[in-house]
Structure 1
Amino acid sequence: MTVQTLFTPHASQASGPYSHGRRGGDIIFTSGQIALHPETNELLTGVRESTRLVLDNLLAIVEAGGGSKETVAKVDIFVRSLDDYDEINKEYAAFFGDVRPARVLVQAVLAPGAVLEASMVAFAKD
């Protein structure tokens, strides 16, 4: 099996010794993403805007591996506060529409200033 390391300019750059993601066979794993804008490196702190940017960044990584929104199998979300659950769900539902990946959402200690971090597992289309 060939394993491919994934990087894309459409997601915030990795801040440590890791890649944006990896593809092995038809499975794509992303690294966690916080709401860092890929062009300005600005950390967004609003819950809904952070959720959307993180999902956009993760999808860019999935697409770099040959996947799409429709092939996302699972999303793991780590939140600073469970009080943000409803706002995250609104943006998540708007992003995915009728696509319903499996999901985990748990409260966690995050990088300073981050309101959430998430990662995806997806299948490649090709």
Structure 2
Amino acid sequence: MKIQPVQTSHAPDAIGPYSQAVTVNGFVYTSGQIGLDPETMEMVAGIEAQTHRVMKNVNAVLKASGTSLKQAVKLTIFLQDMNDFATVNEIYSSYLSEPYPARSAVEVAKLPKGALVEIEAVAIKE
């Protein structure tokens, strides 16, 4: 069982001592993605833009891992404000299709770099 780190320029560089994702035993585990634009490493503004950017970042990491959101089995959403849940849910669902992955959504006190939303994924390799 060998753990393989994943790195892609199509998602933000890690801002700490972690990999964008790791693969092991046919699964991909992504680190949480926030609304950083991978080209500028600047946070996009607003919950809508951040949610779109987060989903694009998650998908980019999954693609670099040899899979995609279609193979996601579990996603976890971290929200700075649960009042944003409906907005995030609508945007989130536009990136997925049935059968939808399992999911949790949790309100947290703070996210890195002042992010409004962070999402991590577990997927199987295609």
TM-score bucket (shorter structure): over 0.9
How do 1:1-126 residues align onto structure 2 when only pairs under 5 Å count? 1-108=1-108, 109-125=110-126
Secondary structure of 1:104 counterpart = strand
In structure 2, what is the Cα distance between the partners aligned to 1:8 and 1:41? 14
Question: What residue identity is the alignment partner of 1:123?
Answer: I
- Where does the alignment leave 5 or more consecutive residues of structure 1 unmatched? none
Q: How many residues were matched structurally? A: 125
In 2, distance between residues paired with 1:95 and 1:8?
20
Q: Which runs of 4+ in 1 moved over 4 A?
A: none
Write the distance in 1 (CA, Å) between the matches of 2:37 and 2:50. 9
> Do the aligned residues in 1 keep the contact of 2:70 with 2:97 (CA within 8 Å)?
no
In 1, distance between residues paired with 2:40 and 2:60? 16
Q: Distance in 1 between matches of 2:77 and 2:45?
A: 16
Which segment drifts farther, 109-118 or 4-13? 109-118
What displacement does 1:111 show?
A: 2.3
Cα distance in 2 between the residues matched to 1:96 and 1:114: 22
Q: Deviations over 1:47-88 (max 9, x none)?
A: 111111111101111111111121011111100001101100
Q: 1:45·1:114 contact (CA, 8 Å) conserved in 2? A: no
* Paired letter, 2:112: A
Q: Deviation at 1:45?
A: 2.9
Q: Classify 1:55/1:99 alpha carbon distance in 2 versus 1 (closer, same or farther; 3 Å).
A: farther
% same residue: 35
